[in-house]
Amino acid sequence: LNPVALIAKKRDGGWLTPDEIRAFVSGLLSGEVADYQMSAWLMAAFLNGLDERETLALTDAMLESGKVLDLPSVTKPKVDKHSTGGVGDKISICLAPAAAAAGLAVPMVSGRGLGHTGGTLDKLESIPGYRTDLDVRTFEQIVATVGVSMIGQTSELAPADKRIYALRDVTGTVECIPLIVASILSKKLAEGIDGLVLDVKAGRGAFMKDVRSAKRLAKALVAVGKRAKKRVRAVITDMSSPIGTTIGNALEVREALAVLRGKGPSDTVELTVELGAEMLAAGGLEKSVVEGRKRIRKVLADGTALDVFRKMVEAHGGDPRVVDDDDVLPSAESEVVVESKARGHVRAIDAERLGILSVEMGAGRARAEDAVDPAVGIEIVATLGNRVAVGEPLAKLHVRERTSAEAWISETRSAFSVGRARFTATSRIIERLG
C-alpha cells in the first residue's frame, strides 16, 4: 500500500481500481493511511470526481469495514427509505411502521439532526423511554418480530464511513455527489436490505438547493445502488416549505401519530403514501405504484400501521401509550402565537429560515455535541394556500420562556410570504427515478 501513489493517481485525474480503493479505505482504519492523506485524497476526489465504479468500490469498502446484517430469520423483503434531510421531515416515523404493516421488513438506521435539518433519532427520543442505541443483535430481533426497528448509527455498521464523514465535515469535502452517494449507500446497504427508496429533497430547506443538482444526486444514487445489485428507486421531492405543520421533535411525533391514525396534514400523508408505495415496489410486493398507494392508505386507515408503531415503541423501551395519548409526549411551557400583519394567501413558507430558527429555539443542534430540547418547536397554523386576515395566526411557537420569543416571532413572520393572489399548494413529488 503506497498512499501517496493513490493520492497522486486521483490528483492526476486517474481512476482507481476497486482493489486500490479497498486498500486505501482499510488502510485508514488500520493506521497505514493517515487522516491527512485521506483528506488530501478526498479533496482530489472532490475536484476530479469519482466514476460509478469507484463510487461503488468506495461504498463496498466502507460497507465491508463493519458488520453487514443478514437477518436470516426475516423472510419478508427488506426495504428501507433514506431522506437527504429536510425541515419538518417526520416521514420516517409514520412511513416505516406503515411499510412494515404493509408487508415489508424495515431495518432503519437513522441519524441525528444537524444544522437546519432535523433528525429522526431526536424525534424518536422525544417518546419517553424510547432507546435508539440498541445493539445490532436486538435491532435484528425487533425487525424479525415487529417488522420494523429504528435505531441510531452504530459503530458496528460501516465504521469507515463514520471516520471519513468526520473528515469530510472539517475539510470542505461534504458537497460532493460521489462521496455523498457512497456515504448514504454504505450505511444503508449495511442494513442488509434488498431494496431502498431515496427521498432526494430539493429546495431552500434541503441540502440540494435546486432540482437539477438533486436530480444529479438521485441519478448517481440509483446507478450505484443498482451496480450494488439492489432495487433502488429515488423520488425527488420539494423541500422549499416545511413538511406538514410542525418543526420540532415531540411536535413532529404528534404529527406522525396523526398520520398513523389516518389523519394528518395532506402533504405529510402524500409523502408517506407515495414513498410507501415506492418501498412496496422496491420490495417487489406490488408491481404498480397505484396498488402500493392503496395498500399504504389502507394500513393507515385501519390502524394496523399504528399497531406496528406501538409494538416498535414497546420493543425499544418506549411508553406505548403514546399512540393513544399525545400527552405522554413532552410539551413546552408556553405557546406564543405569531399573527399575520398582512392579509391574503400564504404563498411560501421559507423552510430553511424556520429550520434555522428551530435550532435557535433549541429543537436542533448547531454542533454535533449540542443537546436538543424535545418539547420546543414551531407549529404552522396557516399552511400553503391558506387565506389569512391581519391579526390571524400564521404559526404558534412552542417555547420554554415567553420572554425569549420576541425576536423569534418576527423571524417566523418573515418566513411567511402572504400575497393577494390565490395560491394552491401542489404535490411535493417532483420526479421519480429508478
What is d(CA 122, CA 240) in angstroms, rounded to the nearest whole number?
A: 22
Catalytic status, residue 12: no
Based on the shown chain and the rule CB under 8 A, indicate whether residue 97 belongs to the binding site for a copy of itself.
Answer: no
222 Cα distance to chain centroid? 17
Nearer to a copy of itself, 172 or 419 (CB): 172
E strand or H helix that includes residue 249 = helix 249-260
For a copy of itself, which stretch binds (CB under 8 A), given 34-42, 117-125, 226-234, 333-341? Answer: 34-42
Is residue 61 a contact partner of residue 94, using CB atoms and an 8 Å limit?
no
Based on the shown chain and the rule CB under 8 A, indicate whether residue 143 belongs to the binding site for a copy of itself.
Answer: no
* Positions in 151-190 near a copy of itself (CB under 8 A): 167, 170-173
Of the residues 10, 78, 82, 398, only one is catalytic, namely 82
What is d(CA 299, CA 51) in angstroms, rounded to the nearest whole number?
A: 41
User: What own/partner pairs with CB < 8 Å and gap ≥ 24 does 295-301 have?
Assistant: 295/102, 295/103, 296/98, 296/99, 296/102, 296/272, 297/273, 298/102, 299/98, 299/101, 299/102, 300/94, 300/98, 300/259, 300/260, 300/262, 300/269, 300/272, 300/273, 301/262
Nearer to a copy of itself, 5 or 290 (CB): 5
Nearer to a copy of itself, 26 or 171 (CB): 171
Q: Which one among 20, 22, 27, 39 touches a copy of itself, defined by CB under 8 A?
A: 39
Based on the shown chain and the rule CB under 8 A, indicate whether residue 368 belongs to the binding site for a copy of itself.
Answer: no
Q: How far is the CB of 41 from a copy of itself (least distance, A)?
A: 8
Of the residues 90, 162, 168, 396, only one is catalytic, namely 168
What is d(CA 25, CA 38) in angstroms, rounded to the nearest whole number?
A: 8
Q: What is each CA distance from 105 to 146, 151, 389, in whole angstroms?
A: 9, 14, 47
Based on the shown chain and the rule CB under 8 A, indicate whether residue 430 belongs to the binding site for a copy of itself.
Answer: no
Catalytic status, residue 82: yes
Nearer to a copy of itself, 2 or 410 (CB): 2
For a copy of itself, which stretch binds (CB under 8 A), given 37-45, 68-76, 122-130, 152-160? Answer: 37-45
Catalytic status, residue 161: yes
Catalytic status, residue 365: no
Catalytic status, residue 76: no
Of the residues 78, 163, 187, 215, only one is catalytic, namely 187
Edge-to-edge strands, sheet with 377-380: 246-247, 377-380, 393-399, 334-339
Q: Which one among 32, 35, 291, 339 touches a copy of itself, defined by CB under 8 A?
A: 35
How many residues in the shown chain lie near a copy of itself by CB under 8 A? 25
Q: Which residues contact 304 (CB under 8 A, 6 or more apart)?
A: 101
Active site residue ranges: 82, 161, 168, 183, 187
Residues near a copy of itself (CB under 8 A) are 3-5, 7-8, 11, 34-44, 46-48, 167, 170-173
